[in-house]
Structure 1
Amino acid sequence: MLAKLFPFACLIVAACSFSQVATASPQYVGSEVCADCHTEETEAWQGSHHDLAWTDPADGHIIADFSGTEFSLNGVISKFTQEDGQPFIETDGPDGTLTKYPVAGVIGITPLQQYAIETAPGHLQSFDVTWDAFGEEWFHLYPDQNLKASDGLHWTGPYKTWNSRCAECHATDYQRNFDPATKTYDSTASEIGVGCESCHGPASEHVNWASDAPLRDPSPDLSPLGLVVDYAQGNNETQIQQCATCHSRREPLLSGSPMPGTPFHDAYRLSTLRQGLYHPDGQIQDEVYVYGSFLQSKMYQKGVVCSDCHDVHSGNRVAEGNAVCTQCHNEVGNDRFPTLPLAEFDTPEHHFHKAGSEGAQCKSCHMIERTYMGVDGRRDHSFRIPRPDLSVETGSPNACSDCHADRSPNWAARQVARWYPASDKRGPHFSQVFHAARQGDATRASDLIDLALYEALPGIVRATALDLLIPFSSKEIADRTAGLLDDPDPLVRVSALALQRGAGSVNLVSRVLPLTEDTSRAVRIAAARELLGAPIARLPERQEKSMRIASQEWQQSLASKFDFPETQMVMAGIGLRTRNFDSALASFREAVAMDPQLVQSWVMIVRIQAATNRTDAARETLKAALALNPGDQNLLNLQRQLP
């Protein structure tokens, strides 16, 4: 049944025709129009990281030295010059040849400034040699990688394509508009940079309201002020999820900027606390952009929102140093948070460091800092209590060892225990189970289930426990976690769906099918994915309709990301599950055309060719794969297996 609802021909049509561009009122008017009335907000915003997230080279925001400077790495000399006011970068292009490009876009301002290069009409790539705003020098974002032009991670590769990987969070009303037939972009934005309408939504009806003109779109979805987002009347999630649109590690489900106010799980699938992204205890490891950390925090659970600490227009903190924290964490507390312990925290009796020192800063202990993009320090927003004892057990870092790098975690754990001998903050922690599960310890499966069912834990932790159960999938696990398909948190529901693969076909269909009508698009898409290939002969009309709609949403989501090698891998997997081997081959080939280092795709192409009696073609494919990935053990093993 679902295979009929998911024909591959439809995917190609959807890829060409699907668009998120809204045509109805209200319309985007631009930040300059907003500035006419909102002068204070505009003054705070101008020059901010949002304002300067993406600017035109002619706007005068370039801070790098384009006076003929050079940067050399791995034999490639990049030159930075200027001619008649136009900055140029000469470097190795898509074919490895030194090519001179005009700078097409300026990205950011501090602590680094990056530059976008147009390698084909409308096709922008983010260049890896970047300007250190404070060190005032050129540096490479990935100096340890010797990447050639044929590598997918080279600056000309698909993972550095500005149109698909970055622009959405650096522009207002951005639409990718990728054409898979011609492999070209016709991307659009109402304005580059994160303008007023990136957060408040298209303002044409608000302008009408302000001028006492009748609203052309008297939609109940608009606020009384004619805006699509009403932060004054919204709940905490209205603001937090709007910020999370960009400040999160996630998979997009749409083809560009969602309409402001769109629920997060209708536009994205949030990454859980995966290995490589987060440490076992949930501390940041890779660049995860705050939201996944904040969801783990007690502050989030108690109702703190982004604007409690950050001015939403300038992006600056609302106070300096510890004053950000002590606006609530003090002897009198804050009426909004009645459960706050009333005590003085900015004192040596609490932090055991000299007043005014680095160790006395709240952020030093409760917001570890990690540096990304070479020079960009980011703070962990889970606001956790330091647990050096967990470092000993799980290898997770701790704030004490960040400063006292010459001392062991054991030393730090003993010191904290002396300071707080009666603390109740050193009990069992989910990281102990996560660490063991990451090592493949199947004996911890029951503990993972217990964590997933424990409603007092943050949803992102519970969802991660479910993800870690996938390798141990069984009917028992599917049965014990089935109730989580109705969990209030969409992130938990998404992760719970995958475990129903072990339930048996009858139970899988009966449990998963209702979620094709879920309130969140991410859940509906996940349900459609799990039902692919399920033995469904006939459904009542309502259920068939909901499954068809969910399948179409999945199609549209995939079609919006046809320029991602990862999407091509998903498409190939669909081809394999539906036994459409020609389609699987086509997608695997597209994946390696984008990223020649996807060895897994090369292996699958060879195996499909060999299994379908195309041995000569398999040998030629393997030869091409080895030429691009010399010495790869997987390919060499496959070579020995071919007849």
Structure 2
Amino acid sequence: MGWGAFALAIVVAILFGLAYGKSSFAKQAKRQTLQALTPAQVKSDGYTSSASCRACHPSQYASWHKSYHRTMTQLAGPHSVMGRFDGTEVVSGGLLYSVYQTNDQYWAKMPDPEIIMKTIETGRRINDHNYQIRTNGVLSILDLRTVPRVNKRVVMTTGSHHYQTYWVEGSVKDPQTKRNETKYGNLLQTLPLVYLPKEQQWIPRENAFMMAPESKRMISQWNHHCIKCHSTAGNPGLTGNNTFDTRAAELGISCEACHGPSTDHARHYRSPLARYTQHFSKSSTTNIIPKTGSRWFGDPAKLDHKRSSQICGQCHGVYIYNDPKLGESFARNGPTYRPGDDIHSIRYYIQHPGPAPTPVRQEELEKNPGFFRERWWDDGTILAGGREFTAMRVSACYNKGELSCLDCHSMHQSDPVDQLKPHMRSNQACIKCHAEPEYTTSIDQHTFHKPGSTGSNCLNCHMPHTTYALLGAIRNHQIQSPSAQRSIRHGVPNACNLCHLDQTLDWTQQHLATRYGHTPLPLSAEQKNTSAALLWLLKGHAAQRAITAWHAGWQPARDTSGTDWLAPHLARLLDDPYGVVRHIANNSLGKQPGFDRFEFDFLATAPERMRLAKRAIAQWNELPSTASDTTGKSILISSDRQLMETAIQALLKNRDNRPFTIKE
């Protein structure tokens, strides 16, 4: 190479380096700006962040890094944002929102969220748009549609699997200097939209949750609610003048959320001598770090089943603080609980009184019926998802046995979906304890189903999908035996009829009485003659409709009950008043024969939804009839494959239209 070429190469390299350096600096500057708009991630109170764990625990770090716990809360950027910020406009509750992108920044044009927040929290709701407010002692009516629209930067995300929600920056106090000071500190407001990755669709936030159509607007702030479970050691930082100086050890659910603060642990084991001493010691864990004396908790699996489950229960449970002062302390200073502590020393975990309540529990139910109705079925079975610890801790497996969350779940070496250990979707989850022949080699004598079938899967009978969460049904962690009595008395869908969708409650009750000695209860004519699934689907309340509609798309139920009769009944739910019910019903409808290309938008107007519901029924009628068609009085289809419209309309007319909200 000649000197000229060499010199040119040097110049090009320098220019490339300058360009790269400038680009990296710009990205770093943007990231620093974003961090200034979001809760500070600080190393305090013994917390040091997951980055300190990686060097010594690369495998565990890698498996955690793939989990949805890690990505529960992230700074908004190309690496985290799933939504299409492409100028899409969405109307949520009559208010217009638009989302767009500028380079690698994400923005929303929206009604001023702080005006909306203050109006909804302090005003009196007249209707969905109008609120009576008091300004300087004068009463007036504010129409939310007149609230000025402002441009807000999207700074943080929540979720990365089923759906994703977003948080926007607070209002700048001084628009001239653009200083990061707001009326409420670093309070983050919700962008009241949700993005569905599978459908690639933006939807109003109120249509992503089970909530009564007449409910007040779903407006929330990250700092005082979501922070409790969607960050590690999150401190709302509420100040005396009602502003927030929110911070966390780490956004998302990181290593220290389960293993405890690890500053001293990490510092101690930076020494090779300390690591080798630990490796060759007889003890598998070191709880007291030499010299410093600092408490290090370590491995949840080393705790007893109750104490280890409490670590999950810090988020997956329904609780209040034992003392209101503890709640105030959390709001101002952050959590006092550390993994490994006895969580019951600071929290009271609320349980539904159930069918045999104590006087104290019964009083709680009578004073707070709405609170319980939003989280439990009427018999005390858990209804709301995310409350698995609450459910499990009333089970015999937990109270009389030693079942813990860690028996089935792991943050490491597991599928990020459900975080289940290998083989924990099968009977292996149960026969570790229940090893008798009737549950293993002779299981058909217990289940009366073929070995290896879905009817001989312990989980399908004892942990049915009767909990609502994330636009669908998930397994109930209360671990109960199937019961027709709970269905008859309290309307709780039972495992038998959620698989045998074509059978009646009478059929189920007879089988449970004959095979397991259950005591039969009196039944109505409908319960004797009409499929239980159709009673829940057409006549039931919103939760019953949602759970049953989901099972109409569940493959084991489809294999058991047939698939050629469900479509016209699911079609009735395409015009349901609850968006989540319409969404679930449409998903299940798409799995029925002849409906894989049926197009339906669950956010369509009421007249359009009604038109498409009728179109779906007509489409089913147009399908060719065969000798093997499923018909019968119980499924409201006559022998000549005609819908029993009079009976169907009678069920719809008597539908349970009580307002229904589920606090998942």
1:609-641: CA deviations, max 9, x gaps? xxxxxxxxxxxxxxxxxxxxxxxxxxxxxxxxx
Where structure 2 has 5 or more consecutive residues not aligned to the other structure, the ranges are: 1-39, 117-143, 172-181, 275-285, 353-364, 366-371, 522-664
1:223 aligned onto 2:288: yes
Whole-Å separation in 1 of the counterparts to 2:438 and 2:169: 56
Deviation at 1:212, TM superposition (A): 3.8
Give the letter for the 2:396 counterpart: K
Name the SS for the 1:27 alignment partner.
coil
Give the letter for the 2:409 counterpart: H
Give the letter for the 2:256 counterpart: E
Partner of 2:217: 154
CA pair 38-397 structure 1, distance change in 2 beyond 3 A: same
CA pair 374-32 structure 1, distance change in 2 beyond 3 A: closer
Is the deviation greater in 347-356 or in 287-296? 347-356
Is the deviation greater in 304-313 or in 352-361? 352-361
1:50 aligned onto 2:107: no
Partner of 1:190: 249
Where structure 1 has 5 or more consecutive residues not aligned to the other structure, the ranges are: 1-20, 216-220, 429-643
Give the letter for the 1:415 counterpart: H
Please say if residues 43 and 49 of structure 2, whose CA atoms lie closer than 8 Å, have aligned partners that are also in contact: no
Deviation at 1:60, TM superposition (A): 0.9
Residue from 283, 302, 307 that aligns with 2:381: 283
Deviation at 1:119, TM superposition (A): 3.6
Normalising by structure 1, what TM-score?
Answer: 0.54
Name the SS for the 1:197 alignment partner.
helix
Residue from 147, 159, 162 that aligns with 1:108: 159
Name the SS for the 2:194 alignment partner.
strand
Partner of 1:551: none
Deviation at 1:45, TM superposition (A): 0.3
Please say if residues 52 and 108 of structure 1, whose CA atoms lie closer than 8 Å, have aligned partners that are also in contact: yes
1:499-544: CA deviations, max 9, x gaps? xxxxxxxxxxxxxxxxxxxxxxxxxxxxxxxxxxxxxxxxxxxxxx
Please say if residues 116 and 125 of structure 1, whose CA atoms lie closer than 8 Å, have aligned partners that are also in contact: yes
Please give the residue correspondences for 1:206-355 in structure 2 after superposition, counting only pairs within 5 Å. 206-212=265-271, 222-224=287-289, 227-230=295-298, 231=300, 233-252=302-321, 253-254=326-327, 255=330, 256-257=334-335, 258-273=337-352, 275-276=372-373, 277-287=375-385, 289-301=387-399, 302-313=401-412, 316-320=419-423, 322-323=425-426, 325-329=427-431, 334=432, 337=433, 343-344=439-440, 350-352=446-448
1:37 aligned onto 2:37: no
Deviation at 1:349, TM superposition (A): 5.1
CA pair 55-83 structure 1, distance change in 2 beyond 3 A: same
Whole-Å separation in 1 of the counterparts to 2:376 and 2:79: 38
Name the SS for the 1:123 alignment partner.
coil
Deviation at 1:172, TM superposition (A): 1.2
Whole-Å separation in 2 of the counterparts to 1:375 and 1:165: 21
Please say if residues 236 and 245 of structure 2, whose CA atoms lie closer than 8 Å, have aligned partners that are also in contact: yes
Partner of 2:128: none
Is the deviation greater in 168-177 or in 25-34? 25-34
1:308-332: CA deviations, max 9, x gaps? 1011335621124643x32542xxx
Whole-Å separation in 2 of the counterparts to 1:294 and 1:267: 20
Please say if residues 206 and 218 of structure 2, whose CA atoms lie closer than 8 Å, have aligned partners that are also in contact: no
1:174 aligned onto 2:234: yes
Q: Percent identity?
A: 24
Name the SS for the 1:284 alignment partner.
coil
Name the SS for the 1:89 alignment partner.
strand
Please say if residues 376 and 382 of structure 2, whose CA atoms lie closer than 8 Å, have aligned partners that are also in contact: yes
Deviation at 1:78, TM superposition (A): 2.2
CA pair 82-25 structure 1, distance change in 2 beyond 3 A: closer
1:37-84: CA deviations, max 9, x gaps? 101101110121211110001261211211122323442232221112
Give the letter for the 2:393 counterpart: L
Whole-Å separation in 2 of the counterparts to 1:342 and 1:365: 15
Name the SS for the 2:74 alignment partner.
coil
Deviation at 1:154, TM superposition (A): 2.6
Whole-Å separation in 2 of the counterparts to 1:71 and 1:359: 44
Normalising by structure 2, what TM-score?
Answer: 0.52
Whole-Å separation in 1 of the counterparts to 2:44 and 2:350: 33
Residue from 190, 199, 224 that aligns with 1:135: 199
CA pair 194-374 structure 1, distance change in 2 beyond 3 A: closer
1:104-153: CA deviations, max 9, x gaps? 211011111111223444112334421123222222342386989xx8x5
> Aligned residues, how many?
385
Please say if residues 230 and 251 of structure 2, whose CA atoms lie closer than 8 Å, have aligned partners that are also in contact: yes
Q: Which has the higher contact order (CA 8 A, sep 6+)?
A: 1
Please say which structure displays the higher CA radius of gyration. 2
1:408 aligned onto 2:510: no
Deviation at 1:266, TM superposition (A): 2.7
Please say if residues 178 and 184 of structure 1, whose CA atoms lie closer than 8 Å, have aligned partners that are also in contact: yes
Please give the residue correspondences for 1:391-540 in structure 2 after superposition, counting only pairs within 5 Å. 391-418=487-514, 420=515, 423=516
1:73-103: CA deviations, max 9, x gaps? 4422322211121112233333432333211
Give the letter for the 1:414 counterpart: Q
Name the SS for the 2:157 alignment partner.
strand
Please say if residues 127 and 155 of structure 1, whose CA atoms lie closer than 8 Å, have aligned partners that are also in contact: no
Please say if residues 510 and 520 of structure 2, whose CA atoms lie closer than 8 Å, have aligned partners that are also in contact: no
Whole-Å separation in 2 of the counterparts to 1:351 and 1:66: 51
Residue from 92, 96, 110 that aligns with 1:77: 96
Whole-Å separation in 2 of the counterparts to 1:56 and 1:102: 12
